[in-house]
Amino acid sequence: MADPATTARGTPSGLVIPDGYSSMLAFKSNATVSFWEKSVQPPGYDGGELIDITTMHNVLYRTGYPRSLIKIGEIKLKVSYDPNVITQITSLINVNDSATVHYPDGSTLDFFGALLKFEPDALEEGKEPEASVTIGVTNYDPVNHIEVGPKFTNVTGT
């Protein structure tokens, strides 16, 4: 029977981004949509729950195995906006489009996705109007009808 190996933690390569300013998101169909990013949460990567491979032959532990496919999480934004954005949102919502997350260091994450939600906060005296925006990553090229995962482009030196 094999034991798991001890692995020492190495020094990570690359550079830490010291500040989240300035991060943005652009849609190919409307790169000038009338909202201004205040915060951008890039998508997470999720392998899903382990597959339970426990059998009656297990003695002490339940056993599991990782799945094969990866789920790319939603992108969430907090934005201020021009009320005219409502017209623009209706032309973007539920449309599978090419989009890009722009990181502060100039790196980019290109993906196929759809604007799923535009949820304005309550309008209040003395407070700038804001909204929450949710974008789902589809991983589906609507032109070539194929699976296409996100493409990350690293800036030189990071």
Over residues 103-123, mean pLDDT: 97
- Rounded-to-integer distance, Cα 41 and Cα 80, Å: 15
51-91 residue pLDDT tens: 999 999 999 999 999 999 999 999 999 999 999 999 999 99
> Which CATH topology does 24-153 take?
Elongation Factor Tu (Ef-tu); domain 3 (2.40.30)
Reading the block at residue 102, the tokens are 């722009």
What was the pLDDT predicted at 5?
A: 93
Using a pLDDT cut of 70, give the percent of the chain over it: 97
Give yes or no for a contact between 99 and 72, defined as CB atoms under 8 angstroms apart. Answer: no
Q: What does the domain layout of the chain look like in residue ranges?
A: 24-153
What was the pLDDT predicted at 157?
A: 61
pLDDT band at 1 (very low <50, low <70, confident <90, very high): low
